[in-house]
A and B are shown apart, each in its own frame.
Chain A
């Protein structure tokens, strides 16, 4: 076996791959070959580093150098300079956005400073397509210990004691779920992994499956052992091709090693995993809808009870957990419930992965202990704009504002603040975002994704969306706001499944937190962020206009008229409010009213 003295880790997550990271890997290998270094330097394609904004990422070990935005052409320089001569390639180092200084290793990057990686422990560290690297990181040890040293009840007890709560959004105690499923007797039981990640902006499940698929496989086997199931199914959306491929490779490898199949690790336990593909419907993240979709029926939810633990896949007891939840399991078994409880808060132990998006400097994936404050996560807002709100929990969640910045983040505090954890998407908004329009955006999503089975969700959400549209167009009244509030409450109380029960949350929370903005929209017909185009009017200030005709020439619809060297005019009936004239005007003569 070759003896490597250096490892080059290249990110092979979907984001970095889209930016041609595979080409970087190829070029690096070629360069190393050309320099006779392929025996001493190993190139490894890993899962997501989380730092997607500055991808593709290349990390060099053991000196822990972190290169960002690497291009395929840079491979030559990295090998010639860093590998052969030992000099860091300065221009590829990460530049700290606040200090404007170069940072040469990930330890000193603000982005990684507050993170504690449990679920993402192997992402960006091991080669996800190589089971050996997972085993070298204590992989399958937890499964081995469960089979050799513990009874199924012991395993459930550890998970219960750890206080782990479902990371898919609801926050239901995982151990309790396992216990329910274990109590029902049946000839066949199932373990299902919910990899139907549907929240706009959330991609932690995909990253885990792409970066560390074995951790999910191992955890599913552990779950199977504890509830008495021999079959596992991963319900994954077909739009995640890389995650599917890596899962398939991992399942195959686990079978070859005898870690899936019959008599696992010399015990009597038998377990195997198959994949089921979803078409990407949001409602299929709901467990009953998911199960129906797996059975080949329409992805529609049914009333609970019966819970899947009693009657799930083909009417058999089924335990459904989310990807991130599973990824936590092996570590809990290895390190114990007490250890897990020491992280995070009393009611929400452990960590949570968040997908950060929107108006912040470091967009990407982070894993932080529960109980951290929003302020600590969103340490920098882009371009020095004023922070307005953070949307958490996707279409089921709500907005948190300035006053919530110091609230510790955990399942219950977020609910108390009118939002929810959801799967962990976080979209940061600044003064340029209109909160009414944001609520409308989410309703558009739920209207589209509603399965249509129950009336409150099918009709109610549609009406909510229409009313919001009316307000954005400048035709709203105070009664409309009241209507929104009433309708929202009714939908929440009467909808069949989680989708409808939570879909009015964005409306309610924006009304609660941004009452002023709603009032401005209905009373003064004004949108302070300049998002609602129907409430804006472009006007030329006659004092500043010199009649240069630049605006008239750039206007795509010919709405601006005027003689040369005379003051111009905008026809509001024709204007489409594209803003092209403002950009063109050198005299600051055009403004928005």
Chain B
């Protein structure tokens, strides 16, 4: 194990270790962050939701966007798997269907960064009990 030899060493180490607890720090103020939920029911996974899930986690970090990526159950839009729900703070959640890696990239670049809508938005077809 490396010895920490100076304050600079320690700081470097902290940067490297940051991601160990990042997830938990984000969880503490989740409502202020961009939330991405990937539908990972059986049909979602079969259609490649796992790759999309990993893509979001890796790319958001690379592009320095603070976001929380979680997996969720089947959202019911099985005709359009994989499905991804994106919640930008202060806006209503939007569900994107048939998400591919290219589309996921577009979601990050257009919707998350600039607020431009991307094609493939699924109309919300049910109310959630949280809003009732």
Contact = CB atoms under 8 A, between A and B. Distances in A.
Contact of A133 (B6, B21, B57): B21
Name, among A61, A63, A144, A258, the residue most crowded by chain B CB atoms within 10 Å (CB to CB). A61
B73 A87 contact: yes
Interface in A69-111: 84-87, 107
A7 interface: yes
Interface in B72-90: 72-74
B70 A148 contact: no
Given A85-B41, A138-B14, A64 B28 contact: yes
A535 B53 CA distance: 70
Interface residues of B, number: 37
A85 B73 contact: yes
Contacts of B30: 62-64
A63 B10 contact: no
A479 interface: no
Interface residues of A, number: 36
Given A144-B7, A147-B7, A257-B1, A4 B17 contact: no
- The binding surface of chain B is classed by DSSP as helix
A256 B40 CA distance: 42
A5 interface: yes
A5 B17 CA distance: 15
A6 interface: yes
B128 interface: no
Contacts of B62: none
Name, among B24, B69, B70, the residue most crowded by chain A CB atoms within 10 Å (CB to CB). B24
Contacts of A415: none
Contact of A145 (B7, B54, B69, B70): B7
A425 to B, nearest CB: 28
B23 A266 contact: no
Contacts of A258: 3-5
A257 B37 CA distance: 39
A135 B10 CA distance: 8
B24 A7 contact: yes
A402 interface: no
Given A6-B23, A257-B4, A132 B11 contact: no
20 contacts: A5-B57, A61-B26, A62-B23, A62-B24, A62-B30, A63-B68, A85-B74, A86-B70, A86-B72, A135-B13, A136-B14, A136-B20, A137-B21, A138-B14, A144-B6, A147-B7, A148-B6, A256-B1, A257-B3, A259-B4
Interface of B: 1-7, 9-11, 13-14, 17-18, 20-21, 23-24, 26-28, 30-31, 37, 40-41, 53-54, 57-58, 68-74
Interface of A: 3-7, 9, 61-64, 84-87, 107, 125-126, 132-133, 135-141, 144-145, 147-148, 256-259, 265-266
